[in-house]
Amino acid sequence: MSQRYLLGTFEREEDIVGVVKKVRELNYKIVDVYTPYAVHGLERTAGFAPSRLPWVCFALGLFGALFKVWFEFWTTASDWAINVGGKPWNSLPAYVPITFEVMVLFAGLSTVFAFFWSSRLFPGKKPIMPDIRVTNDRFVLVLEQEDSTFDVAKVQRIFKRFNTVKVEERQEGGQG
Amino acid sequence: MADLYSTLRQPLIAGNKSLGEVTNDVSGVLERKTSPLWWRAFMASLLFLLIGAAAITYQVATGIGTWGLNRTVGWAFDITNFVFWIGIGHAGTLISAVLFLFRQRWRTSVNRAAEAMTIIAVMCAGLFPLIHMGRPWLAFWMFPYPNMRGSLWVNFRSPLVWDFFAISTYFTISLVFWYVGLLPDLATIRDRAKAGIRKKIFGLLSLGWNGSLRTWNRYEVLYLLLAGLATPLVVSVHTIVSWDFATAVIPGWHSTILPPYFVAGAIFSGMAMVLTLMIIARKVMGLEDYITLRHLDVMSKLIIVTGSIVGLAYATEFFIAMYSENPYETFLFKNRALGPFAWAYWTMVLCNVISPQLLWFKRIRRNVAWVFVLTILINVGMWFERFVIVVTSLHRDYLPSSWTYYTPTLIEVLTLLGSFGLFFTGFLLFCRFLPVIAMAEVKGVLSHGHRSVRSGSR
Amino acid sequence: MNPQARTFELPERFRTLTTVFAVIGGAGLLLGAVLAPERAWLNLLLGGHYLLGLALGALFFLAITYVSGAGWCVVLRRVPEALTGTLPVGTLIMVAALLIGVSGLFPWLELTGGAEHHDVGFKTVWFGVPFFLARAAICLVIWLGFARAIIANSRKQDEDGDDDHTRNNIKLSAGFLVLFALSVSVASFDWVMSLEPDWYSTIFAIYYFSGIFVNALATILVLLVWLRWRGILVDMVTEEHLHDLGKLLFGFTTFWMYIWFSQYMLIWYANLSEEVVYFVKRTSGAWEPLFLANMVVNWVVPFFFLLSRGAKRNERVLFRVGVVLMIGHWLDLYIMIFPSFSPTTPPFGLWEVAGALGTIGILFLAFAWQFGKAEYFPKRDPFLAESRHHHQ
């Protein structure tokens, strides 16, 4: 069964926010929304689940910090202990700075890579976009026509109410 | 979703721009032919860079005996330049991360350029410890890898090793933060470009970004997390730089206030440098609608805040030196103000504490020429601050027979000039090939302040 | 339309309880003045620092939000305003503590009085009693003056709705911040650091400031949540406002830890005898567990409990963490003040209990007195609409 999609293009933030809210209320299936900039709160309006990136950040940051404390202790106090300036073998206050730096490094890099991975972003990827202008000044809402009850004319009327500039239907593969 | 703004608010971006106009204004500059002005500036910077490169080649080949150091002053020009450049970098992270957390929306016009400045400044800074090693090809010894010497590990108790970790982490995270911020804009430029090399390069760099809300959703969380990490990071970096000095027992270096004092000083100098660069860029690139007088005003206020903290730190150090009744501390601070380097000390005070007070006046904050001159003075003053801290604490030590003076050699001065060459070369390349203003962020604040609502009307 | 604002009265039972606390505190310390003058004085000093610091921290919060043009916090501004309004109370206690102190208890008095002192050093001049008291008077007058002016402007705006009050407060705040930085430095050196007359640390003023500001934020949150549980400001102050306050609290507890660590690490690392004496006292004997507990209470607990977004939006979590921090600040001051007089054992007994109870009682009574003087929120502030519709 081939998938059919309905795409509405909008020009203003208020319109895209309004239309997303409306189609959500009417329980249409939002495939995706394309925007030129981050519209705050739109992901909640569209009903997308919150990202789990904070967990990656927390876990890897904690791991980095613990690893570094152990590593500094092991190298400085155990593997080859050297007396430097009469400081104790286990100079915990002196380990804090690098532990912090390594924690930030682990947490930061791992979160960025997790972001690339979960968003499937990589060099050489061909961007799949409904309209070339979504990175410039257009907002596009993509709905899936789940079954025969999907009333294209009705949805078009909703789109019209939010000042749509273009409505089109596409078969599978035509969009992202 | 309509935001409500008090009538006391003003629009962030002037000229009532549409989304498309933002894209045109910012990317248009990159698509036009290179201007002769840019070429002239670039050639001049490149010349300085080459002079610096020659000086570095010479001192690496000959040895760092080419510097003006002596038995008493064992640390001077090189470390001054290092701290100076690292400090410059701090404003970029402040604007991109700290002000993001504090939701200062005006930052969107300047954060991209400030972050680029950070990255280049950190590169300039990294140059100096590298040269100082004398054998820069062995720099990787700083990294704690299992080796054939034991394994003999690096000394994790040493602030210089902390510095290595701090600077490399700072560089990495700043670069990543900057790149993540660039992604949507790289895609914008890709989609404007006609087929060809430009489209290919930007296509590769933008990683297939398509503006999907699912990606934006994660992107915003990522940005928040990176900002949350970069904020303590930027504080830690200059803190650790200050510990290079403060962990020693030398009067003038060993002072507990150094960490916050250095961080404030770093932001102070960096903010001045951002303003210097932005004042030129807005004029040359015609970005006055984006970097408005209001931006100069707000950033000048940040300069007053950080500059005042620096001034307070000077006063506190002086006071505690007297209060402690420690003869060495007392002598050191008297010597700073009245000794042979008094000229450097008073240059510092004049540029960092006295002249910035003019910024209390709104008329001066909104006068481009005045702000430009004052920021240049601050740049000079902050360089002298580090010079004063490093050199005046050393040149008259506990043994009066070894008291001496310090004068930099030509090689040292040329290396400093070379670092400026590197800085401006890098910044000019950035201005030429990448969007100077974060389009995707500015678009998000276009409406800010345009729909005013009187209090209590809803 | 704005919901109608009203004024506040402390619930009957709560009023009785806090009055009892205040009376116990007052009577206890009066008794102490006879039986154990030094301990009673130290507790009076601690209480003075606690209450004065709280009011100053709240005033700093007001000033910094005015200067930065922050609109979000306008709906809850009356809480820090009322805390600022308690400044005269803290001032009175501090004045009493200072006057009693200079009459024989400050350990630096021997530097200035004795004829044997042939060498006139900096401290001999600095700690001359009239000069010392004059400095204290200047600091207190500056704070009282700015507190009064800023609060008066805000309350006047309720009546005439004039935007100029906001503009005036922005200017006043900028002036206050400059003078505050100088005066709080002097005050912290004079009233705390000087308890160890031979010791010095240039970061000390910032350390002192970070403590009072964290405590002010924690107390604002605790009072705000407490008021909401009593049905006040319920629909005005939303999760978003709590979230922002939570973020500030999270940030500044970490700032406190950073400043604490900077001071400790540098002194530990350099290991100079005249400096380490401070930490040697505070890590010896029974002081050590308290020294470690100080970090746990003031940083570890707030850090891990407030790390997640959900926690910063949860008023129960915020309330509990706030209370922990209010106790934490007491402990922090205790560790700053007491070991100078009792180097091996942390004294804890009747006088400390009386001091702490008195502080709590006076805090609530003074807050209620001030909070009752104006409406619950500045109803005609030009940023009110923005603050009410505050979201992320």
Helix, coil or strand: residue A34? strand
- pLDDT for residue B448: 63
Q: What percentage of residues in chain C have a pLDDT greater than 70?
A: 96
Is the model's pLDDT at A127 over the cut of 60? yes
Nearest to B265 by CA among B96, B378, B163, B112: B378
Per-residue pLDDT at B126 exceeds 60: yes
Q: How confident is the model at residue A128 (pLDDT cuts 50, 70, 90)?
A: confident
How confident is the model over C209-226, as pLDDT tens digits? Answer: 999 999 999 999 999 999
Taking only Cα atoms into account, the Rg of chain C, rounded to an integer number of angstroms, comes to 21
C26-46 pLDDT per residue, tens: 999 999 888 988 999 999 999
| pLDDT (mean) for C254-273 | 94
Report the pLDDT value the prediction gives residue C6, as an integer from 0 to 100: 62
Mean pLDDT of C266-280: 92
Fold for the domain defined by A4-49+129-171: Alpha-Beta Plaits (3.30.70)
Identify which of B208, B211, B243 has the shortest CB distance to residue A36. B211
From C260, A77, C272, C270, select the one nearest B156 (Cα to Cα): A77
Are the C-beta atoms of residues B173 and A105 closer than 8 Å to each other?
A: yes
The total number of residues written for chain B in this structure: 458
The tokens describing A74, both together, are 């092991």
* Cβ atoms of C205 and C184 closer than 8 Å: yes
In this prediction, residue C8 carries a pLDDT of: 75
Give the B window 41-80 contacts with C, CB below 8 Å.
none
Residue C84, classed as helix, strand or coil, is: helix
Which of residues 423 through 452 in chain B touch A, CB cutoff 8 A?
439-441, 443-444, 447
Asked whether residue C344 carries a pLDDT value surpassing 80, the answer given is yes
DSSP string, B247-284: TS--TTT--TTHHHHHHHHHHHHHHHHHHHHHHHHHHH
Interval B112-123 mean pLDDT: 93
**Cβ contact B309–C200 (<8 Å):** no
Separation CA B358–CA B349 (nearest Å): 14
* C-alpha–C-alpha distance, residues B372 and B272, integer Å: 9
Are A137 and B23 inside 8 Å of each other by CB? yes
3-state secondary structure at position C374 = coil
Cα(C361)–Cα(C367) distance, rounded to whole angstroms? Answer: 10
Q: Please judge whether C261 and A93 are an interchain contact, meaning their C-beta atoms are less than 8 angstroms apart.
A: yes
Domains of chain A, by residue range, sit at 4-49+129-171, 53-118
CB contact under 8 A, B247 and C270: yes
pLDDT of B264 reads 93
Strands in A166-171's sheet, in edge-to-edge order, are A29-34, A139-144, A4-10, A166-171
Given a cut of 90, whether residue A130 has pLDDT beyond it is no
In the prediction, which pLDDT does C162 show?
A: 84
Interchain contact B220–C (C-beta under 8 A): no
Q: Which residues of B fall within a CB distance of 8 Å from A84?
A: 155, 157-158
The reported pLDDT for the residue numbered C7 is 66
Residues of A in contact with C391 (CB under 8 A): 41
pLDDT-derived band at C112, boundaries 50, 70, 90? low
ipTM of the complex: 0.91
Per-domain residue ranges of chain C: 12-388
Mean pLDDT confidence for B364-381: 93
- The residues, any chain, with a CB within 8 Å of residue C291's CB and separated by 6 or more, are C282, C283, C335
- Backbone phi, psi, residue A33, to 5°: -125, 140
Interchain proximity C258–B239, CB inside 8 Å: yes
pLDDT band at C118 (very low <50, low <70, confident <90, very high): low
Q: Which of B95-99, B378-382, C57-61 has the lowest mean pLDDT?
A: B95-99
Confidence of residue C116 (pLDDT cuts 50, 70, 90): low
Reduce the DSSP state of residue A33 to 3 states and report it. Answer: strand
Short-list C83, C94, C93, CA closest to C60: C83
Q: What are chain A's partners, defined as 3 or more CB pairs within 8 angstroms?
A: B, C
pLDDT at A176 over 50: no
Q: What is the mean pLDDT of residues B337-361?
A: 93
pLDDT at A132: 83
CA distances from C289 to A92, B19, C256, C285 (A): 17, 60, 19, 9
Chain C neighbours, 3+ Cβ pairs < 8 A: A, B
**C226 to B310, C230, C252, C319, C364: CA distances (angstroms):** 39, 7, 22, 8, 11
What is the percent of chain B where pLDDT is above 90?
A: 62
Interval C165-197: pLDDT, tens: 999 999 999 999 999 999 999 999 999 999 998
Task: Tell me what pLDDT residue C1 has.
Answer: 38
C-alpha distance from C79 to closest chain B C-alpha (Å): 20
Query: What pLDDT sits at residue B458?
Result: 27
CA angle B162, B416, B158 (to 5 degrees): 15
So what's the pLDDT on residue A151? Answer: 81
List CB contacts (< 8 A) between A136 and chain B: 19-20, 23, 188, 191-192
Average pLDDT rounded to a whole number, residues B337-349: 94
> Per-residue confidence at C2, pLDDT binned at 50, 70, 90?
very low
Strand partners, A5: A144, A170
Contact B131, B64 (CB under 8 A): yes
Please, what is the average pLDDT of chain C? 90
Q: Look at residue B4 in the predicted model and tell me its pLDDT.
A: 55
Residue among A17, A120, A135 minimizing CB distance to B1: A17
Burial of residue C115, with CB atoms counted within 10 A of its CB: 0-12 exposed, 13-18 middle, 19 or more buried:
exposed
Least confident of A19-28, B224-233, C239-248: A19-28
Nearest-CA distance from A39 to chain B in Å?
7
Each as own residue / partner, the long-range contacts of residues B416-419 (CB below 8 Å, 24 or more positions apart, any chain) are B416/B77, B416/B81, B417/B48, B417/B51, B417/B52, B418/B48, B418/B49, B418/B50, B418/B51, B418/B52, B418/B53, B418/B55, B418/B56, B419/B52, B419/B81, B419/B85, B419/B124, B419/B127, B419/B128
Q: Phi/psi of residue A77, each to 5°? A: -110, -15
The DSSP code sequence of A100-150 is HHHHHHHHHHHHHHHHHHHTT--TTPPP--S-GGGGTT-EEEEEE--STT-
Q: Are B48 and B385 in contact (CB under 8 A)?
A: no
pLDDT in tens, C122-169: 888 889 899 999 999 999 999 999 999 999 999 998 888 888 899 999
Instruction: Give the nearest partner residue to C269 out of A40, A54, A94, using CB atoms.
Output: A94
Q: Give residue B454's pLDDT.
A: 33
CA distance C207 to C213: 10
Q: What is the mean pLDDT of chain A?
A: 86
Buried b (16+ CB within 10 A) or exposed e, C296-315: ebbbebbeebbeebebbbbb
- For residue B254, the chain C residues in CB contact (below 8 A) are 266, 270, 272
pLDDT for residue B9 is more than 70: no
Size of interface A-B (CB pairs under 8 A): 207
Q: Are B325 and C122 in contact (CB under 8 A)?
A: yes
Predicted confidence (pLDDT) at residue C9 exceeds the cutoff of 80: no
Structure-block tokens of residue C256: 């406190």
Q: What is the mean pLDDT of residues B55-84?
A: 92
Q: What is the pLDDT of residue A68?
A: 93
Whole-number Å distance between alpha carbons of B121 and B383: 14
Higher pLDDT among residues B315 and A144, named by residue:
B315
Residue-averaged pLDDT of chain B: 89
Alpha helices in B325-409 (DSSP H): 327-338, 342-349, 362-365, 368-387
Interface with C, mutate which of B157, B263, B323, B359 (most C CBs under 10 A):
B323
Q: Is the pLDDT of residue C382 over 90?
A: no
Q: Which of A153-162, B1-10, B118-127, C236-245 has the lowest mean pLDDT?
A: B1-10
- Is C4's Cβ below 8 Å from some Cβ in A? no
Count Cβ atoms within 10 A of the Cβ of residue A48 and give its class: 0-12 exposed, 13-18 middle, 19 or more buried.
middle
Measured CA to CA, the distance from residue A30 to residue C292 in angstroms comes to 53
State whether the Cα torsion A93-A98-A102-A108 is positive or negative.
Answer: positive
- In CATH, the architecture of B19-444 is Up-down Bundle (1.20)
Interface touch A51/B212, C-beta < 8 Å: no
B241-270 residues touching A, CB cutoff 8 A: 243
Dihedral (C-alpha) B256, B259, B265, B269: value to the nearest 10 degrees?
Answer: 150
Q: Kindly tell me if the per-residue pLDDT of A172 is higher than 80.
A: no
Per CB-CB distance under 8 Å, the chain A contacts of B159 are 97
- Over 50: is that where the pLDDT of A45 sits? yes
Q: Which residues from A are below 8 Å from C when comparing CB atoms?
A: 40-41, 54, 58, 86-87, 93-94, 96
Largest CA distance in chain B: 78
